[in-house]
């Protein structure tokens, strides 16, 4: 179900971009003249006081390009933040797992077959049983 929704959303975006491109192209062909652009007061020291002639399709193309670059930057930053949060979550999970593995000897003793062969000590077994019984009684 999600695959179909993603396919429909992708097709819709592609067709709308094609449609916008056709409309923008027709608009630029219909308005292919030069227009005077007056310079704001705060930029007159850099560009001069006289109005400049600018080709309208180039002006509109610059506006569209800057809008698309800004939208691309916003989408990229959202994707970057999302991926970074995923990586941080993965690192936190791995650190918790590593801490659990570091404390393994204290929480779960190693199985006997992994230990070197030892002879059982009867006196130590009695002491441990006494300690276990005392700890069970204390609970």
Q: Is the pLDDT of residue 53 over 60?
A: yes
Phi-psi category of 48—alpha, beta or left, where left has phi over 0 and alpha has psi -120 to 50? Answer: left
This prediction's pTM: 0.47
Task: Supply the mean pLDDT for the chain.
Answer: 83
**Burial zone of 99 (CB within 10 Å; 0-12 exposed, 13-18 middle, 19+ buried):** exposed
- The residue-averaged pLDDT of 41-70 equals 85
pLDDT for the residue 112? 63
pLDDT for the residue 101? 77
Q: What is the DSSP letter of 125?
A: H
pLDDT tens-digit profile of 60-73?
Answer: 888 889 999 999 99
């Amino acid at each position: 179900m999600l695959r179909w929704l993603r396919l429909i959303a992708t097709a819709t975006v592609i067709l709308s971009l094609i449609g916008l491109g056709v409309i923008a192209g027709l608009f630029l062909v219909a308005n292919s003249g030069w227009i005077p652009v007056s310079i704001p007061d705060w930029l007159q020291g850099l560009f001069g006081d006289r109005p400049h002639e600018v080709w309208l399709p180039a002006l509109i193309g610059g506006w569209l390009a800057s809008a698309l670059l800004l939208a691309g930057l916003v989408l990229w930053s959202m994707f970057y933040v999302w991926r970074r949060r995923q990586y941080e979550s993965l690192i936190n999970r791995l650190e918790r797992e590593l801490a659990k593995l570091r404390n393994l000897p204290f929480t779960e003793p190693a199985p006997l077959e992994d230990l070197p062969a030892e002879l059982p000590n009867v006196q130590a077994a009695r002491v441990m049983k006494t300690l276990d019984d005392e700890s069970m009684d204390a609970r």
